[in-house]
Amino acid sequence: MDLQTLTYIIVGATFLLYIGIAIWARAGSTHEFYVAGGGVSPLANGMATAADWMSAASFISMAGLISFMGYDGSVYLMGWTGGYVLLALCLAPYLRKFGKFTVPDFIGDRYYSQTARTVAVVCAILVSFVYVAGQMRGVGVVFSRFLEVDIETGVVVGMAVVFFYAVLGGMKGITYTQVAQYCVLIFAYLVPAVFISLMITGNPIPQLGFGGTIEGTDTYLLDKLDGLSKELGFAMYTDGTKSMIDVFAITAALMVGTAGLPHVIVRFFTVPRVKDARISAGWALIFIMILYTTAPSIGAFARYNLINTINGADQQGTLVSETPQWISNWEKTGLIKHEDKNGDGRMFYSGDERNEMTIDRDIMVLANPEIAKLPNWVIALVAAGAIAAALSTAAGLLLVISTSISHDLLKRNLMPNISDKMELRYARGAAAVAILVAGYLGINPPGFVAEVVAFAFGLAAASFFPAIILGIFYKKMNKEGAIAGMLAGMVFTIGYIVYFKGIFITPMAANIPANWLLGISPEGIGTVGMLVNFIVAFVVSRFTKEVPVEVQEIVESIRFPKGAGAASAH
């Protein structure tokens, strides 16, 4: 059976599964729409959290970044993995105990201010829209190749599917859909990794094959990649070119940004108890680990096969002039281009002036099975997994946008007397509008998938993380300090990103470290924005009114169990 037919069958079957689950788990109340009724088991919630967490950036773009950047790409791996640990251990249980299932709800009540709530709503919407743009772009990349349509059409198809199960099912529908999506995406990620690891290293475990020798030789895979990189004018694969401060800034921004992502935090309210929140966090970490420990090997395998198929030689040592089939397939999408500079009819890929290839790094995971000449069913399976990864996160983000508008902005602020039925109607309407805006951003993104997602994490780090961490662990932080800090951090970070990635600087100049503040790239500037937030919050809080006693007592109560220390008092 040909590839396109198989892709239609496999992707279509997964879509029918997701839509069927959405109908079965249709939300009938605001409680089910927002937090799935609070009755999800820890195991199912852990799987749904993993799917929510592992977006198109994790599935499609992260291994692609590692493939092209080598060691430098590991900042995404470290930041996103460490961030989830930070969220699970330091924030989620306390937020769950506080009892507010959205970040703006927590900030509004903790800082006893409708203004703080409104600022948090605006920040949540900005972060979510930037994040969801990357997911929609990922969907477009998948469809553009495997369904042989342009990226714009692919984004529209993805919008239609998300609209159906996110708007209809709410959190209840999304949760059980994401359980299915995790199963699809992890299977789709591991199957080609195992196949290619066997082909290149003879080891069926990709994580071990990554550090092993090439089949039939004594040469380690990473040593071979270092040699090829040096020969072709690229930076050494296992050496970093980023400055230490930029590596630190990007990793920190991704870590603390994770802890401020509203669509992940709300997951800990879908389980019955605080204890279940901790258990589901543990399960999620296991499920996430499976993919994240596989990503470096996929990146290395893809890099090795990419160079060999483009710059490879026949048995006589002559460069092969025939265009590899996988390149012909992807050239139709416009995501890979060949310019025959010397007119020899052959392709050549290098890191210097000899280079004739322009390759979008977001295609590497999707193209990897084709490069390795794996069976068509494996290629189609990877397409289904990539779509599942993008749609699962997109749905969670769109729900955050809809709840921020309907619950935090309308119900808790502008229209406190609306009924549950009307609130649910506003939530679905907000989700529908959000999908349209997200689709536009997916068609016109500000960068490649992982880069766009990194911007979202930076914005979350600069706005939410200080307000949340101080709200839990520093009872003297007042509303004036929190509001001023969030505004300062967000404005600074947005300004920096727009300056370097927007209309003020040419694309070439935007990527020159000498132009960056302290050598920190736009992807890592969220760390500086976070520090600005902390500093402004502390300074303003010192010169404004103290926190009411009753609020300080609430903060104490979420960190210390009731009656703690009573035994030692006697």
Would you give the distance in Å from CA 65 to the centre of its chain?
13
pLDDT at 340: 78
Same domain for 360 and 384:
no
Query: Is residue 566 in some structural domain?
Result: no
Are residue 470 and residue 396 in the same domain, yes or no? yes
Segments forming the whole domain that contains residue 430: 3-302+373-559
Q: Which residues pair with 313 in a beta bridge?
A: 319
- Last residue in a domain, options 347, 364, 381: 364
Q: Are residues 327 and 423 in the same domain?
A: no
Per-residue pLDDT, 567: 39
Asked whether residue 439 is assigned to any structural domain, the reply reads yes
* Same-domain status, 286 and 353: no
Give the phi and the psi of residue 359 in degrees, each rounded to 5.
-125, 125
> Is 565 domain-assigned?
no
Has residue 567 been placed in a domain?
no
Domain boundary among 343, 364, 385: 364
Question: How many domains does the chain fold into?
Answer: 2
Q: How far apart are the first and last CA of the chain?
A: 78
pTM over 0.85: no
Q: What's the confidence (pLDDT) of residue 78?
A: 82
- What is the CATH number for 409? 1.20.1730.10
Q: Is residue 236 in some structural domain?
A: yes
Domain boundary residue, one of 317, 347, 364: 364
> Are 184 and 259 contained in the same domain?
yes
> Is position 570 within any domain?
no
Rounded CA gap, 391 and 398, in Å? Answer: 10
Please report whether residue 210 resides in a domain.
yes
Q: Which residues contact 107 (CB under 8 A, 6 or more apart)?
A: 116, 117, 119, 120, 464, 467, 468, 471, 482
Report if residue 329 sits inside a domain: yes
pLDDT in tens, the chain (570 residues): 777 788 778 878 887 777 777 666 554 445 444 444 455 778 888 888 887 777 777 787 788 888 888 888 888 888 877 777 777 777 777 777 777 666 777 888 889 888 898 898 888 888 877 777 777 777 777 777 766 777 777 778 777 776 765 565 555 556 677 788 788 888 889 999 999 999 999 999 999 998 889 988 889 999 999 888 888 888 888 887 888 899 899 999 988 887 667 667 767 767 777 777 778 878 888 888 898 889 999 999 989 988 888 876 443 344 455 677 888 878 777 778 888 787 777 788 888 888 888 887 778 888 888 888 888 888 888 888 887 777 767 776 777 777 777 766 777 667 777 777 777 777 777 777 777 887 787 777 655 566 777 888 889 899 988 998 898 888 899 999 999 999 999 999 999 988 887 655 555 555 666 678 888 888 899 999 999 999 999 999 999 999 899 888 888 887 665 544 443 333
Three-state SS string across 316-362, please? CCCECCCCCHHHHHHHCCCCEEECCCCCCCCCCCCCCCCCCEEECHH
Q: Are residues 295 and 314 in the same domain?
A: no
Dihedral-angle region of residue 519 (phi above 0 means left; psi in -120 to 50 means alpha; beta otherwise): left
Whether 338 and 313 share a structural domain: yes
| 392/336 same-domain check | no
Strands (E), 415-454: none
